Amino acid sequence: MTEPYPAHPQLQGNFAPIRMEADIDDLVIEGELPRSLEVAYYRNGPDPQFPPRGEHHWFAGDGMLHQFVIADGKVRYRNRWLQTVKWHKEREAGRSLFGAFNPMDADPSVMGIETDGLANTNVIWQGGRLLALEEGHAPFEVDPQTLESIGPWRFDNTFEGPMTAHPKIDPETGEMIFFGYMVDGMLGKGLSYQVVNADGVLTRSERFEAPISSMVHDFIVTSEHVIFPILPLTGSVQRAMRGEPAFAWEPDKGSHIGVMPREGSVEDIRWYETDPCYVFHPMNAMTSGNTIRAHVMQFEEAPLFPHADGSAADPKKANARLCEWEIDLADNSRGVKRTYLDDITGEFPRLDERRAGLEYRHGYYAASTGREGSMGFNALVHHDFAKDVATRYELDAGDYLGEPVFVPEGEGADEGTGFLLTLIYRGTENRSDLAVFDASDVSVGPVAVGQLPHRVPYGFHGNWHHLNGR
């Protein structure tokens, strides 16, 4: 018999797992789905099948993939656990066996066992494959129709090591650009850099060492440069061996921003320094002459992790805001100019991916008008950079939304002409909806809502794919 889940804040409310798989052929629709919207939308997130072992962390739950197929004015829903080595071992044992970040928390029966990760953070379509991602292992392939788990995909066995959950797709070449961190061992300073072409063939692989050991969740790519943010959410083997947090906030280590020309190599990385901050997710970036401008959701200090001395993060500083980083490539002082662009707390930034790495106008993110932080995102924000204006839609009290994903209205549609897909948790009803917004006017609210009879727990990232194979 499964033991009760502990009273942990990341296991309660809409963080709590649903521990079930379901198929629903035809969701109840409120409003009218756009006829031009014919896509499969996938959203990934954690759903621990058993009570955790050791100290729990939201990032450590078993991956569960949610699929919404939108076509002919209807929505079909399916969800499945991603059946990794960890998932199978624990399903056989009937209990949790692996710890979150500290290997010392693992059951002796699985000490030294190599796993294929959690596959719980993001999902992308690349080279004709649907790949579930997290940042400590290779991609995990999933059948795009049935959501059946296929297993690790290593680009025809040409790739070894971890891969970020946030690769970038070049909209002009179709190349996938990605990195991995801690490639030289647990909590080390080694990073890798890779490029895969549009056909899914690995064409480039290099390694280098960062100034400090850091949790490098995401990175930044422009048409001309790759930017590696090495920020002071540090990893420490020594801490982990003492039973202390493997990852912790150490602001005295500073922020180190590595800039590499895409046509160069890791030996050409130039390091820029700035005050301590943390970024889980950038929105976009572009190179113009000798200037790089990057739009990121910047925290004054890292959320969800303690300070190195064990104290909790300052809630007033552990909230992100939209911020512009300006890097002058001709400035030998190698500093970074940082300017906040909005006062509202937010996360999960997205854009029209056809403008990824290029000059762009429209960005979107989930926001908290009450500065609740964490997952208290009660608003959807559209930031128009051409007008320097932000518009938003606020949900009813008790409702919260996640990452907004942009789908263009058609192949030739102008930037920003299309739809935003997001999941909304209806707190008073304890269930979730798939919401469809007109991206050009989010303030009017969803144009259509697909109603689920159950919750979709708070998760991370999603992406979409045309049903016609484009």
What's the Rg (C-alpha) of the chain? 21
**Residue 304 to residues 46, 58, 248, 348, Cα–Cα distance (Å):** 15, 9, 9, 15
Q: Residue 470: its pLDDT value, please?
A: 47
The rounded distance, in Å, linking the Cα atoms of 225 and 285 is 9
Question: Would you call 316 exposed, middle or buried from its count of C-beta atoms within 10 A (0-12, 13-18, 19+)?
Answer: exposed
Query: 105-108 contacts: CB < 8 A, separation 24 or more?
Result: 105/53, 105/54, 105/55, 106/53, 107/53
What is the DSSP secondary-structure string of 234-276?
EE-HHHHHTTS-SEEE-GGG-EEEEEEETTS-GGG-EEEEES-
Question: Which CATH number is 9-466 given?
Answer: 2.120.10.30
Mark residue 113 as left, alpha or beta (left: phi above 0; alpha: psi -120 to 50; beta: remaining): beta
In tens, the pLDDT along 325-381 reads 999 999 888 899 999 999 999 999 999 999 999 999 999 999 999 854 455 899 999
In tens, the pLDDT along 153-204 reads 999 999 999 999 999 999 999 999 999 999 998 889 999 999 999 999 999 9
Mark residue 227 as left, alpha or beta (left: phi above 0; alpha: psi -120 to 50; beta: remaining): beta
Residues of the chain with pLDDT under 70: 1, 371-375, 469-470
pTM of the model: 0.96
- Planar angle of CA 283, 284, 288, nearest 5 degrees: 150
The rounded distance, in Å, linking the Cα atoms of 180 and 120 is 16
Question: Would you call 193 exposed, middle or buried from its count of C-beta atoms within 10 A (0-12, 13-18, 19+)?
Answer: buried
Q: Residue 375: its pLDDT value, please?
A: 58
Residue 398 one-letter amino acid: G
Nearest Cα to Cα of residue 170 among 25, 23, 358: 358
Q: Residue 370: its pLDDT value, please?
A: 80
Asked if 339 and 313 count as a contact pair (C-beta separation under 8 A), the reply is no
Q: Which two tokens stand for residue 302?
A: 């890292």
SS3 content of the chain, % helix, strand, coil (to 5): 10, 40, 50
Residue 460 one-letter amino acid: F
Asked if 241 and 260 count as a contact pair (C-beta separation under 8 A), the reply is no
Asked if 303 and 313 count as a contact pair (C-beta separation under 8 A), the reply is yes
**Residue 20 to residues 44, 121, 213, 462, Cα–Cα distance (Å):** 15, 19, 37, 20
